[in-house]
Amino acid sequence: MLKLGVNIDHVATLRQARYQGKAAGEPDPADAAIICEAAGAHGITIHLREDRRHIQERDVWSIREIVKTRLNLEMANAPEILALALKVKPEIVCLVPEHRKEVTTEGGLEVVGQLKDLIDTRKRLNDAGIEVSLFITPDLRQVEASAKAGAQFIELHTGAFAEQFHEPEQRHGEIQRLVIAAKRAHEIGLQVNAGHGLNYQNLSSLHCVPHLVELNIGHSIISRSITVGLHQAVQQMLRLMQNDAA
């Protein structure tokens, strides 16, 4: 069964718009995590950025305490955040590239060029009982390097697919890249997640990508929750995923 991890970063984005620098404020992403799990989400995803633009350290601790499914902590391979992850002990860490001026994560991790550092970080996380995923573009070189790094998962960056969704020829090309990458990852022992830019309109086009374990979706679900509520937004996404798998 294809699983859904709900990224709740943008609940914190809304809070920070009014309560930046404050010790508390609303809405609380921990409350959102509880609602998402009650609606059937298989996991909660949060990204602690180096610039703390949305999720704060206090959120990481409070969400860790209440999540009963699976906590996925997205993070740059930065010493300060790695030290926190080793204390918090999420079920899985997804290592991502991070640039201060980007609106959202714009590309995949350059695993090939950072292999030694990523192996060191992966070992430290695994030794603490934390699984490791690498967020990569659907490129075979990056897939192969992820296996060399010893990661348990990759998360395929679906941003290019999402951007090209309304252009049939380009969309087909991006889907084929995802298919080829997922097949190769499975062959060499990697489990495969996917995420970035996925929404209620484009999700069904991913049904032909094999071996997917989990989709991580955030902005689309949080956006829809404004009109239908978070519980209903999560359930609508889960129904789409179930229909596509049928």
Active-site choice (37, 74, 131, 214): 74
Active-site choice (42, 47, 54, 157): 47
How many other C-beta atoms are found inside a 10 Å radius of the C-beta of residue 104?
12
**44 DSSP β-pair partners:** 6, 71
* Greatest pairwise CA separation for the chain in angstroms: 49
**Active site annotation includes 37:** no
**Active site annotation includes 186:** no
Inter-residue contact 44 to 70 (CB < 8 Å): yes
Give 167-225 as a DSSP string: SHHHHHHHHHHHHHHHHHHHHTT-EEEEESS--TTTGGGGTTSTTEEEEEE-HHHHHHH
91: tokens are 């079920």
How many other C-beta atoms are found inside a 10 Å radius of the C-beta of residue 220?
20
As a whole number of angstroms, the distance between CA 158 and CA 110 comes to 16
Inter-residue contact 5 to 40 (CB < 8 Å): no
Active-site choice (54, 98, 196, 214): 196
**Active site annotation includes 196:** yes
Enzyme catalytic residues: 47, 74, 196
